[in-house]
Each structure stands twice: as structure tokens, then as C-alpha cells.
Structure 1
Amino acid sequence: METTPPTPLWDPQQYLRHADHRARPYADLLARVPALPREPARIADLGCGPGHSTPLLTGRWPTAHITGYDNSPEMLARAASYAGPTTGGGHIDFAPADLTRWTPPETYDLLASNATLQWVPNHTDTFPALLDALTPGGTLAFQVPGNFEAPSHVLMRRLAQSPRWRDRLGTILRHTDAVLTPTAYLQRLTGLGCAVDAWETTYTHLLTGDDPVLDWVRGTGLRPVLTALADDPEARDAFETQYRDLLRTAYPATPHGTVLPFRRIFVVAVTPATGPHP
């Protein structure tokens, strides 16, 4: 049985330390989205985080009305600086929403999501409702990390399940079933009547600074651990020290920086231009 991870506490400043690397997959995803059925388009950015990637949508659809949704008050407070009219005549705003129980309040031409659905348990169960919230010919486009078998995650889980940490951390981290393969997404969404483009890419990030892989995961994958140990700074620091030493071996520094291979999974699903979904 899948254990629902705790709702992590987010740190926008930490997340944005690698903003360029984190935004690139979203740009690559949006480049594959076809023409939308309405002008101006109505777009939702699901899991918008601190809002730094939301303006990428205005590059493709400058007149669109875009709403960024997120469940973190800290992230939404940071995103607020991007709200308002856009240079192309559109508009950006933000609203709170928990995607584990979100009911779309209206119809959209595009539901886009950047590295968020992996946090939603059994997220494929939400696909029918999301597709029903699209106008005919609308698109569901998302990317999720496909790196749950990478050393950064395997070592984190192994450490959390070790005797010292098992009671506090042993069940809180996501596993390899947090996301599907591109083929599985294609089959699931094709079965719901969509035309699907699904693929994967491994980015090779060159990170700099001291312990940059630890710094990277502090903004994302390590958040459940940091949340669980937030009331015990001594334990938090002890876990990070053990984890840091493991990462140094798995991702050795080179004269030019530390290489972090990062697999991403992309899906663009277009609904039929007419008629209901199956």
C-alpha cells in the first residue's frame, strides 16, 4: 500500500537557487504543445511554485489569462510579484489549490504542470477530471522527474530506512512508483481519448559550489525529511551530514563542477476537438 508523504514545507529561496535548471524542462514541454482552441486562451499552471516559470506561458500565448495554482502559502507569496497584466495583453494571477483534492472551477484550454504531479498520490486517477475541465481540443501537458532510481533518491530512502532513522522517516519518502513510464502515461491517456506525445530526456546538469547535489535536493526531494525533522534541528543536521557524505561519493566533484544526471518524463495529451471523452 502506498504511504502518502507528508505535505512538505517549502522554501522558495532554496528552490530558486537552481531556477534556471528547474525551468528548462518546462520550456521544453511547452514547446511541444500545439495550438490552443481559443484566443485568448485560458490556462492553468498547476503547482506553480514561486511563479518564476509561469511567465514562460506568456511567451507562447501572450494574450492568455493564466492562473497559477499552488498549495504552499510561502510559494504563492513569492509568486505574487509576477501577477498582473502581461506585455502581450494577457493577465497572470495566482490562487491556492491542493491538487490532491482540487476541482477545476472552470474550463481551460491548457492545463500545464511543471514537476508537481509526482507529489500527488495516484495522480493518474485525477486525469479524467482534468480532461473534463478542458475545452474540446484542449491540452493537458506535464513533466515529472523520472529520477527516483537515481543515487540521490535511493541513498535518501536507504538512509531514512536505516535503524537510526526508521521510526521517524522510514515511510515518508516517495518511491519509484511515484511516476509512470512514458509508455504507461501514453497508454493511460490514449485510453481516455487523447492524442498523446510522451517522451523522456536526461539532462546533464553541471552544478557548482560546495555539496551542490545536497543543495539541489534541499529545494525539492529532501523537503519531506526537512519537514519531519523541523522541530529537531540537531536530528535534521545529523541526517543531512550523513546524507551529504553519501552524496559526495555518488556525485564526486570534478575540476569543472559536479555532474547531476536528471531524467525527466514529458507528456502532452490533446483532447478531441469535438465530442466527449470516453
Structure 2
Amino acid sequence: MLEWNPALYRRYEDERTRPAQDLLARVPLTEASRVFDLGCGPGNSTELLVHRFPCAQVVGTDNSEAMLVSARERLPQARFEFGDISSWRPETPPDLIYANAALQWVPDHETLIPRLFAALAPGGVLAVQMPDNRQEPTHRIMREVAAEAPWANAIGDEDKIRTELLGIEGYYDLLSSDAAKVDVWRTAYQHPMASGAAIVEWVRGTGLKPFVDRLTPQLQASYLAEYERRIDAAYPPRADGRRLLAFPRMFIVAQRKA
């Protein structure tokens, strides 16, 4: 199991929270009694849910104790639990299951997504946001470098490190037959970054972590140096000297029939 670094994740918290806000804005609920934030991280997304549904019981779950400690410090009024999304099942059907940038780490979406949707109360909503950036330079270069010596043996099959998404049509087909409404869309955020090194720092908090965690300190240093060299070339400076990081994300909001 990966152990996440809350401090590194929060360095770009504003940029990471913006998709969470956009996802929540499309949730068609005026009130809720029970809300779960799956893969809550340091609580930035849970905080949005607490403000949106002040009368609800809001529960954040994560499989990183470090993230849960950070979330509890941030939101002492909310409840946070250790849990694995792949086996998570609520005791009482919730009104909202919300998963912001978490399900891309969980396998078998053909089974996972229908199971989460079926766990909702009547009229309840499943709201999901996932990075859809496997074909962006940041992630293509991760895999390219990982497939080369001397890093390949330690990293293994780089294509299996993160779950392959089904595509908007695939998720629509999984949910539409049993849903009152399914809303799916894709947005590419454009983040101005100070340098190629800043882009590397961004992805070290999430997507790059499973690659470097498999390496010895010496191999980590050489992998990151080569990765940053290629990132610097892939994201040339714009007119203001900054690098423009395109970050596509997929959104799914599905409501159960009442």
C-alpha cells in the first residue's frame, strides 16, 4: 500500500481542490443526511462537503493514516475512518458518495462503479472525479523512463501502476440503465507552473509516487533527474516564462431513482 505525503499533496491544494468544487457544484441535492468522501486525502474535499451539507453526517475515508491524521487536524468536527475503497460498503445507504481523485487507484471499475451506485439510498448521488491524463506528457514520460535501464527491473510493469479508465461512454453505459440521470463530462485544466521542476514536484505528490517508491535512493535520484530533463523539454516556457501544465479530468455524477 502506498503511504501518501499530506504536506507534498497540499503544496498545490488550490489547484487540486478546484475540480472537487466543480464536481460538487453539479451534485443535484439540496440536502443530505449521510455523506461519504471516499479517498478523502488531507480533508480538502471533505471540507467542501461539510460546508455544502452542514446538517449531514459527513464521513471521510482513506487508506493512508498520514492523510487521516492531517484531515482530522483540519476538520475535527467531521468523522474520518481508515478504509479501502475496493472493499468499502456503508452500513446505512448514504445520500451522497463522493470520490475526488481517488478511484483511479482502485481496480476493476466494471464492478466497482455499479457497486458504489447500488449502495446509495433512493435518490442518492454518486459523484466521481478522476484524472484522465495517462496520455499527457507527464504520464507518458513516467512510463517511458520506467521502462528503461537501470530503473525497469525495480519498477516492473509500468502500465499496470494505475487503473486504465473506461472512458466517458463506458461509465455512462455502466450507470445509465439504473439511474434517474447520468451527467458525464471531461475538462482539461491549464495550470501555469514556474518551471519543469515545479511540474515534477506536482506529480511527485500523486502520479509519480508509485514509480519512485519502488526504487532505491540512488535509483530514485537518477530516475527523477532523467524525468525532469524530459519534462523540461516537453513543457517549453510560454510568453511569461512559465510552463503550462494541461491536466484533463473526467467527471461522473449519477443519481439513483427515488
- Decide: shared fold, TM above 0.5: yes
Give the one of 211, 221, 238 matched to 1:237.
221
Letter matched to residue 42 of structure 2:
P
Structure 2 gap ranges (5+):
none
Report the more deviating stretch, 117-126 or 138-147.
117-126
Give the one of 19, 24, 31 matched to 2:18.
24
Give the one of 120, 143, 152 matched to 2:106.
120
Question: Is residue 196–residue 235 contact of structure 2 (8 Å, CA) maintained in 1?
Answer: no
Structure 1 gap ranges (5+):
1-6, 86-91, 274-278
Matched, 1:8 2:27: no
Shift of 1:30: 0.5
Relative to structure 1, is the Cα distance of residues 175 and 81 closer, same or farther in structure 2, using a 3 angstrom cutoff?
closer
Report the more deviating stretch, 8-17 or 100-109.
100-109
Say which structure is richer in helix. Answer: 2
Matched, 1:169 2:163: no
Matched, 1:102 2:98: no
Letter matched to residue 36 of structure 2:
A
1:178-237 alpha-carbon deviations (Å, 9 max, x no partner): 2122122111111344520000011001122561110111000011022212xx211111
1:56-83 alpha-carbon deviations (Å, 9 max, x no partner): 1123212111000000011111111133
Q: TM-score, normalised by structure 2?
A: 0.94
Q: Which residue of 1 aligns with 2:208?
A: 222
Inter-partner Cα distance in structure 1 for 2:149 and 2:105:
26
Give the one of 50, 58, 68 matched to 1:66.
58
Matched, 1:132 2:118: yes
Shift of 1:162: 1.2
Q: TM-score, normalised by structure 1?
A: 0.87
1:7-60 alpha-carbon deviations (Å, 9 max, x no partner): 322111111110000000010000000025xx5521000000011221111232
Inter-partner Cα distance in structure 1 for 2:59 and 2:195:
35
1:87-120 alpha-carbon deviations (Å, 9 max, x no partner): xxxxx11000011222223210000010000000
- Any idea what SS the aligned residue of 1:142 has? strand
RMSD: 1.8
- Provide the aligned length of Structure 1 versus Structure 2: 257
Question: Is residue 9–residue 224 contact of structure 1 (8 Å, CA) maintained in 2?
Answer: no
Alignment of 1:242-253 (within 5 A): 242-253=226-237
Identity of aligned residues (%): 39
